[in-house]
């Protein structure tokens, strides 16, 4: 073998060795740092959580709803005035005259035939401090006079705390229906201090209706 052949063989051998070395080096897998990877993963997760929290809007807690109770306004209640016994009349000021209705015979709502004559007797009590003299009288005020006298004086003196019975003659009207006759009580000076009335039913049958007991009024007008 000549020198050139030896040189070529040497070079070829060296080349093969170098190739084998390079291949061995390239095929070797690099070592993995497990702890470094864990640290990197933790840092990455923390960063992503921070970015997500920053991107989300701040939630304002909703207060609990408390129902407001419905308030019902109570309307003002107007008391119904008590019905009065008779018409308005003027009360004598500064005097001691006072009266109270106690009864009338026949009772209210008694029925009479048209044109029938009848007599009403009122019982009135002296509830004041003055004595009613025979100068005191009752006077027709309003409604149906029914042929009665306009004025009728007391038959006797009435001291405080006692009663007087005074009668009036009537004639039932010719028309049927409910009829009312209003009267007032006056003192000797002509001052009105009490009022009262009688109510009858005029019907062709003349049957008696149920009795009704009216209340005593406050006296408030001048006849």
Q: Please, where are the H alpha helices in the chain?
A: 3-27, 34-55
Residue 89 is encoded by which pair of tokens? 């009349």
CA 7 from centroid of its chain's CA atoms: 129
pTM of the model: 0.55
Upstream peptide bond of 55 is cis (omega within 30 degrees of 0) = no
More confident residue, 137 or 211: 137
| Predicted local confidence at residue 81, as pLDDT | 34
Domain 99-202: state its class: mainly beta
Q: What is the pLDDT of residues 85-133, one digit of tens each?
A: 544 444 444 459 999 999 999 999 999 999 999 999 999 999 999 999 9
Q: What is the pLDDT of residues 35-82, one digit of tens each?
A: 655 555 556 556 555 555 555 555 555 545 455 555 454 444 333 333
| Predicted local confidence at residue 77, as pLDDT | 37
């Amino acid at each position: 073998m000549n020198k050139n052949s030896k040189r070529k063989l040497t070079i070829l051998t060296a080349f093969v060795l170098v190739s084998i070395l390079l291949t061995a080096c390239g095929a070797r897998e690099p070592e993995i740092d497990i702890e470094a990877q864990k640290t990197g993963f933790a840092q990455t997760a923390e960063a992503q959580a921070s970015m997500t929290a920053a991107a989300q809007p701040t939630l304002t807690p909703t207060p609990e709803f408390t129902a407001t109770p419905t308030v019902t306004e109570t309307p003002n209640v107007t008391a119904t005035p008590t019905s009065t016994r008779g018409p308005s009349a003027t009360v004598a000021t500064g005097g001691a005259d006072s009266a109270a209705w106690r009864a009338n015979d026949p009772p209210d709502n008694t029925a009479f035939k048209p044109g029938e004559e009848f007599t009403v007797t009122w019982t009135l009590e002296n509830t004041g401090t003055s004595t009613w003299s025979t100068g005191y009288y009752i006077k027709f005020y309003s409604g149906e006079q029914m042929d009665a006298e306009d004025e009728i004086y007391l038959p006797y003196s009435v001291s405080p705390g006692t009663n007087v019975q005074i009668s009036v003659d009537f004639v039932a009207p010719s028309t049927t229906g409910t009829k009312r006759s209003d009267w007032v009580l006056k003192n000797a000076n002509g001052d009105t201090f009490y009022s009262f009335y009688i109510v009858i039913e005029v019907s062709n049958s003349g049957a008696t209706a149920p009795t009704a007991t009216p209340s005593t009024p406050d006296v408030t007008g001048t006849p």
